[in-house]
Each structure stands twice: as structure tokens, then as C-alpha cells.
Structure 1
Amino acid sequence: MTKIRPLAYRMRPSKIDDVIGQAHLLGPNKPIRKMVENKQLTSLLLFGPPGIGKTTIAQSIARDIDIPFRSLNAVTATKKDLDAIIKEAVSSDSSILLFIDEIHRFTKSTLEALLPAMEAGDIVIIGSTTNSVFHSLPSAILSRCFVFELKPLSNSEVVIGLKRALADKTNGLGIYDLEYSEDVLMFLAETTTGDMRSALNTLEAVVISNLNDDRLILTTEMVERFTEKKHLSYNGESTKYNLLSSLQKSVRGSDVDASLYYLALLLESGDLPSIHRRLLVIADEDISLGNVNVSTHVLTAVQISERVGLPEARIPLAKVVIELCLSPKTNASYKALDAAIALIKEGHSYEPPNHLKDNHYAGASRLNVKGYKYAHDYQASRIGAWVKQQYLPNELIGTQFYFPKEAGHEKTFADMYKMISHAKKSKKRS
């Protein structure tokens, strides 16, 4: 018996000209198109939702440029597999194009083993992932690659792929006598939400299971039977990244119902790691000192979610999303740090006062590293351990980065900040 290849596999384009979608990368004078035309390829990282052409683009580039092609899936490949390809590339007269699917699943040390071969031009990599590469890959790899986001296919683009498969008598379904309307194909495209692979394989399943003497009139009812459990349903061209953003903005806006809606959409995708990361960020970016316990609560919910998995993971996540929504909001803490970072990037990097420098070495006193007042040896009314002394560099005396908000728990910190600021300005010596 010969191998049974899915329709999506059989219909995979063999050259860039046949790839559907991604006009921002493959259209005239666009980046990947120009690389192929000039046969000058550099390492690439492609990220975006599944079924939109990441693997297809990599294979098409290899054929169009006529470069040896090797492929690994980081979920199943080992360091030994990678080392074998590196060894082959180093000893080869030609560069090798290595496609790494799910590249974010490789460890940092495994990926960094590629660096010497990449530097020497022995290997050019194309990595693909559904995750944002900026959060999941080491900087040493990112700095050596061009990063491109692939967009979800529109429904009309998916329909083009479906029609191509229905007409193809060699690799597609063109050998059958099939009748269909534009509405049926559009319905299939909508229910598979821009995932060409899912759409093609669903089409084949519908056709094969309903054929009668190699004839069939396709109906939406037939399609519905195979799409009862729909994939994550995005509106229009939205992706999970849009939904994660919408979730955070709804929490920030204290809209419980909207937040739960976007959480539900994200949970339907099954991508728990992305949800977990975003909730942890929200806790400290948008609530922060407004509810000092919420970060711990989110972390606990995430750990429970990881432990129990779906569908039960939704229970702790729903609870903590509601708490995030209804907690007082403040971004004063991270805004304060950003202000300090911005000042440093503008060139304002100065020496700390001598009395704050490390004095645990011989000769510190000769360098005038002395005079530090240990705060716990002093007491200030209502403040506790505090003593008046200079902490900022001379050039930044009086600079304020932190502007507290009187929201939730931060009101207590705001009151303390005001008391300390008043004590600093007092002429009374400690």
C-alpha cells in the first residue's frame, strides 16, 4: 500500500509564485520575493498562526534558489539530529538551508550551537513558530535573523486554495465529478478561520465520506458535520495576538464581561502558555501596587492551570481574570522605572555618591568611600528606619521618577512617599 498523503500535503506549492497570501512578503519588490529573485538568502524567522504557509514558503524558497534543503521539527528532533546537519553543512561546498519547525521548542543551548555555522555561512536557517519570536527565542539567534510575521489568510484566499484543489486532477480532487457553490466554499473557509491546511483536509474528508459513484454535490450541511468543533474563531483578520491584546485592554478597562469573552476565545485555541504569560504581565503592568497580592494570585492560578490542563484550567483562570478586572489599577511603578531607563539612555549615567559605594575592601577609606548612615540605626516618626542622606548622584538631586497614584493599596505607598519627600525637604537634621 502506498503512503496516504493528506490533501494539504499534496497541494503544497513548489515555488513562491504559487503561494497564496502573504503579499506583504512575497509580492513584487517585497523582502522575501527580492531575496528569491536575487538568490541572496539570509536567515529568517517566520511567526504566525498555523496553516498559513510557513513550511510552504521555506520549501518554495529552497526550490527557487536551488539550495540543499534540510528540515527538523524541534518537537521531535534531538541535539544529535541538529549536530549531524551542522557537520554536513560545514563539510559541504554549498550552504544548506535548514528549516526548523516549532523552533521555539529547542532549548537556548541547542539553538546557540547553530551560531558558528550561521556566522560562517555554512547554514542558513528558516525558523517557524506560532509564538512571538521576541518572547521565545534567544537574542543571539534573533540578532542574526530577519523576523517576519505571517498574516492569517483571508476567507477569499482560502477559497482560492480550495478551488485549486477541486480542479487539480493530479494531486487534488479534480478526478471526481463535484458540484459546489461559492457559498459552500466560503462557509468552509470561515469555519476553518484562515487555516489553509485545515480547510483542505476538511474538504477532502467531506468529499471522500459523501461520494456516490465518484459524484457529489457539496452542501454546507456536509461541511457542518466535519466542523462541529470549530477552531478558535477569529473575527476578520484577527489573530491570537489581537485577542491577547484585547484581553489585556479589557482588563485594564475593568470590563469583566469583555475580558471573559476574550479569555473564552483564547481558551478555545488551547494555547494556555500565551494566556498564562499575558495574565502575569497584566498583573504587574496594569494592577501592580493597586493590589499588591494579585501577582501571587495570578501565579497560583497559572500553576493550577498548568497542573490540571484543559478543560479544568478555565476555572482558576476565570477567577483570577475577574479579580484583575475589579482590582484598582495603577501603572506608576513600571512607568517610574521606564523614566529612569529613558534618562540613562539619553546619556545621564553618573557615579553614585561615595558613601553608597562598596567599602568592603582594603583602601576604601583612602578613596573617600565612607560616611554611610545605616538607616536601621535611626528612626523617623511614622516612617520607621530612615535617615536623611543623599542617595541620587549629584547631577540628579531632586529628580523624581515615581509619581504614585492613590489607587487601592498604592494609596498607602503614596502617603509614605509624601512623608518621606517632606522629611527630605525638612531643614531638621537627623
Structure 2
Amino acid sequence: MLRRGVVPSTVMNSSMSLPGLDPDISALQPLAERMRPRTLDEMAGQQRLLAPGSALRRAIESGHVHSMILWGPPGCGKTTLALLLAQYADAHFEAVSAVLCGLPEVRKVLAAAEQRFLGGHRTLLFVDEVHRFNKVQQDAFLPHIERGTIIFVGATTENPSFELNSALLSRCRVHVMEAVSVADVVPVLQRAVQDETRGLGRHGLLASPEALEQIAAAGDGDVRRALTLLEIAAELAGEEGGHISDATLQQVLADRTRRFDKGGEQFYDQISALHKSVRSSNPDAALYWFARMIDGGCDPVYLARRLTRMAVEDIGLADPRALAMATEAWDTYERLGSPEGDLALAQLVIYLASAAKSNAAYMAWNAARQDVREYGTQDVPLHIRNAPTRLMKELGYGKGYQYDHDAEGGVALDQTGFPDAMGERVYYQPVARGMELKLKEKLDALRAARLRARQGKD
């Protein structure tokens, strides 16, 4: 059994910190691994989840650890928290990665955990990237969680609602972990600079608070990444007398990228933020999210397609120029490519966000489709059918049709265009904004006149 305060030493993943290693071997480990927290107090960030007195912290400190899913971005401390959970629960720690392991390997680990359980010892099974296991593989854990053979801790960067099956979710509590703020990363870097045992203290490294803050910001919420950048800076600084200078930082932090997952949760969150900023007529916020996605490596053609959709769905006939501008910006990007073509799309973002908004055409289209589904295949009224042959004319095709150009005002008001079973319908209801204001005035007048004409016939 494990003692409180000692990180578990039975770890399958050899990249994890192992206390008591030979100093020469420990020195070979990356700085981020050597500085992995050994107590809850050393955890960076996650105050909402692990603040003193919080429900989860009280449960952990009392040793009552439940099966859970840790959902959060890379480098926020999911693996570290799993190690600490095993420590406080006095449980044997096993780790598997869904990237590297298949069902046969998982079954071996579960069999060993069951033998351990029969001997009176608990096992905490940490499954990294658990969302990469398919449904059958996820189901393999269920009976062992139910019997208490294992304390299951799954780590994922993806939304568990979409990536994990309901049976597994029903047996685990989902805890959301957040990207670590710059303010929380800086103390970790300071500790790494000063720590003579696990960190860089024995090298006499000099790093100003400003330099550490820049490194923390470059970590972009990922503590592991920030520590890796610090380690690279320290190696370069060794050639400059042990001081992390501005020149060193320029080398280390050049061409860094922000967190962005082209196929994951962040991708869809950011495109949602862009769309909703456009809809809210906030060009500044819209431009920010557009820049974030371009910076993260999103395909500009994908963004051009989504922006064109916004021009149709959210602006519509309030400003018909928006659709034309969207297709022109898309075409411009196709001709110029990046980075020159990015500006055309950026201009489009600003225009769409600034333009008058209307979803009237979008709503009208959905209403018309709903009636098509509800009423099925209705016959076209005889008076508006085409009659190219004598037989069709004899059958009444086109009979009673009024040629609108010959009618007063250019509209035959008492003539319907709908199937008889449906009666007259109103789908398109323009808003009183932009160019639709004029359309609204015209259509309101026409609809009122048609109603009067129909009532007069009745």
C-alpha cells in the first residue's frame, strides 16, 4: 500500500516521474517531468476544482476517490491529478494510453487489477486519451468499475458528451479542468528556476520576472509546454553566462503557435464564436475569432464557406450585397492564397458583422420545407398549370389564369399560387431593417390587398 505524500512508483508509462530514481537517470528526464507536482498544493491553477474546502479536494484528502473523467486542454494537469489521486487513495497506479494500447493489453491490466483486488488492494487505472477507444473498448471497463475492481480515471481533451458512450459516463463523474492562466504558470517557472534538486537551481540560471511571464504566456495555458520552453531557454542561456536575455527569448519563442485542434472541441467552439459575433454585429470580436482560427492553421477555404453561409443565413435580404461580397472574397482567396487572400476574408468578416441582419429568408425556407413534408404531393392548381397542347387546354390546364402584367398595378390580386388544400400561406416575413424594410412595406401592402380581393370574391 502507498503512503500519503509519496507519488506512486508503479507506473506503466515510463515518461512519468518516478521518485527515488538514480540522480543520473533523473537528470535525463525533461524539466516538465522532473517538476511534476507531488502534492495538491503544488498543482498549478484548477482553483475552482481543487481549492481548499472544495468537494473534490475534501473527497481526495479523505481517500474517497471515485471513478471520473478529467476533461481539459493539454498540459492542464490531468495526468498529474491522476497520480495524486492514487497517492491519496493508497491505490496501486496503472496507466494505459488509448493511442498505444488495444483491447488485449487493457484486458491484461484489468486481470492484474482483479487479482490485486482479491488480495485487498485497490488499483487506480488511468486511461489517457480515453476518447480514442471505441465503444467496445470502453465497455470493457464497465463491469470492473461497477464491482470496484478499479478506480477508473479517464483523461480527454474532447467533449465527453460526444466521444464517450453513455454507459461509461453514467458510472463516472466528469470534472472539467481549465487551461492554466499566465498568473498561475509564472510561480511554477520560478520554482523550476530555484529548485536545486528537480529544477535548474544548481545551474545558477538568471531569469527576470518579465522573461518568465513571456515564457508563461507562450505556454498558452499548457504548463508542460511552458516548462519545456524554459528548459530550452536555459540551455541557450548557458552559452550566454546563464542569463535568459531578450535575444534568447526571441530564439525560443519565435514562430510559436496557439492551441488549436482542427477536428476537436476548440475548433467548433471557435467557429461558433465567430458566427455568433457576426450575428451580434460585433466586427471586433468577429475579427478576433477569425484571426485566432487563421493563426491556429484553420483552412481559409473552410472559413470562406462558413462566412458565405452567414451571409445567407444571418444577413439575407437585409443586405443582398453580402452574398455577392462573400462569393467575391472566396474567389479572391482562391486566386491569391495566403497570406494575401486572408485580407479579403478579413474584410468580409468586418462587412458581415457590420451589415443589417435578417434571418427572414432562412425562416421562410424552413417553413416552406415543413409544409412540403406535412402536405405531401399536392396537385398544382389548374389555372397555373402549363398548357402547351390542345388536350391539356381541353382538360382545363391554364383556365382562368390572369396574366399579371395585364392586371391593374401589375399584380392579379385574387389569384392564388398555392394548392387548393393548403390555402394561402405566409412564409416570408421581412424585418424592418436594411433593404428588407422596403420589401416589408411592399409585401405588407400586397398581402393586405390580396386578402381584401379574396374576401370580395367570397
The interval holding the TM-score normalised by the smaller chain is 0.5 to 0.7
Q: Quick one: which amino acid aligns to residue 69 of structure 2?
A: L
CA distance in 2, matches of 1:218, 1:32: 39
Contact 2:126 2:152 in 1 (8 A): yes
Contact 1:192 1:230 in 2 (8 A): no
Q: Quick one: which amino acid aligns to residue 231 of structure 1?
A: T
1:57 pairs, out of 70, 76, 81, with 81
CA apart distance, 1:383:
4.7
- Unaligned runs of at least 5 residues, structure 2: 1-23, 261-265, 318-322, 365-372, 385-414
Report the equivalent of 1:25: 49
Q: CA offsets per residue over residues 44-84 of structure 1, 9 Å max, x none?
A: 22222221211111111111212122222223322333333
User: Residues 235-254 of structure 1 correspond to what in structure 2 (within 5 A)?
Assistant: 243-244=270-271, 246-254=273-281
SS at match of 2:286: helix
The answer to whether structure 1 residue 38 and structure 2 residue 65 are counterparts is: no
Q: CA offsets per residue over residues 227-270 of structure 1, 9 Å max, x none?
A: 11123289xxxx88875553232221355664343122134334
CA apart distance, 1:203:
1.0
1:194 pairs, out of 221, 234, 238, with 221
The answer to whether structure 1 residue 48 and structure 2 residue 82 are counterparts is: no
User: Residues 296-315 of structure 1 correspond to what in structure 2 (within 5 A)?
Assistant: none
Q: Structure 1 313/195 Cα, relative in aligned 2: closer, same or farther at 3 Å?
A: farther
CA distance in 2, matches of 1:176, 1:167: 9
CA distance in 1, matches of 2:170, 2:153: 14
Q: CA offsets per residue over residues 12-43 of structure 1, 9 Å max, x none?
A: 11232321211111111213212212222222
CA distance in 2, matches of 1:327, 1:139: 43
Q: Quick one: which amino acid aligns to residue 223 of structure 2?
A: M
The answer to whether structure 1 residue 156 and structure 2 residue 180 are counterparts is: no
Q: Structure 1 323/283 Cα, relative in aligned 2: closer, same or farther at 3 Å?
A: farther
The answer to whether structure 1 residue 77 and structure 2 residue 101 are counterparts is: yes
CA apart distance, 1:91:
4.1
CA distance in 2, matches of 1:225, 1:290: 48
CA distance in 2, matches of 1:88, 1:323: 62
Aligned Cα root-mean-square deviation (Å): 5.1
CA apart distance, 1:226:
0.5
Report the equivalent of 1:6: 30
CA distance in 1, matches of 2:246, 2:169: 44
**Paired positions, count:** 366
2:421 pairs, out of 381, 387, 400, with 387
Contact 2:71 2:158 in 1 (8 A): yes
Q: Quick one: which amino acid aligns to residue 257 of structure 2?
A: H
- Unaligned runs of at least 5 residues, structure 1: 337-355, 357-371, 390-399
Q: Structure 1 265/160 Cα, relative in aligned 2: closer, same or farther at 3 Å?
A: same
SS at match of 2:242: strand
CA distance in 2, matches of 1:142, 1:175: 46
CA distance in 2, matches of 1:87, 1:319: 60
Report the equivalent of 2:162: 135
Report the equivalent of 1:393: none
Report the equivalent of 2:204: 177
Q: Quick one: which amino acid aligns to residue 86 of structure 1?
A: L
1:99 pairs, out of 126, 129, 133, with 126
SS at match of 1:5: coil
Report the equivalent of 2:251: 225
Q: Quick one: which amino acid aligns to residue 26 of structure 1?
A: L
TM-score by length of 1: 0.65
Contact 2:49 2:57 in 1 (8 A): yes
CA distance in 1, matches of 2:348, 2:50: 42
Q: Quick one: which amino acid aligns to residue 187 of structure 2?
A: I
Contact 1:47 1:130 in 2 (8 A): yes
Q: CA offsets per residue over residues 157-184 of structure 1, 9 Å max, x none?
A: 1111111111222221111112222222
Q: Structure 1 106/405 Cα, relative in aligned 2: closer, same or farther at 3 Å?
A: farther
Work out which of the two has the higher radius of gyration on C-alpha atoms and give 1 or 2.
2
CA distance in 2, matches of 1:286, 1:160: 49
Q: Quick one: which amino acid aligns to residue 170 of structure 1?
A: T
Q: Quick one: which amino acid aligns to residue 10 of structure 1?
A: R
Q: Structure 1 166/246 Cα, relative in aligned 2: closer, same or farther at 3 Å?
A: same
CA apart distance, 1:140:
2.8
Q: CA offsets per residue over residues 283-340 of structure 1, 9 Å max, x none?
A: 599927959xx9xx99xx9xxx9xxxx999989997997897699856689999xxxx
Contact 1:285 1:331 in 2 (8 A): no
Contact 1:287 1:324 in 2 (8 A): no
Moved more, 113-122 or 219-228: 113-122
CA distance in 2, matches of 1:318, 1:385: 46
Q: Structure 1 89/268 Cα, relative in aligned 2: closer, same or farther at 3 Å?
A: farther
Q: Structure 1 283/187 Cα, relative in aligned 2: closer, same or farther at 3 Å?
A: same
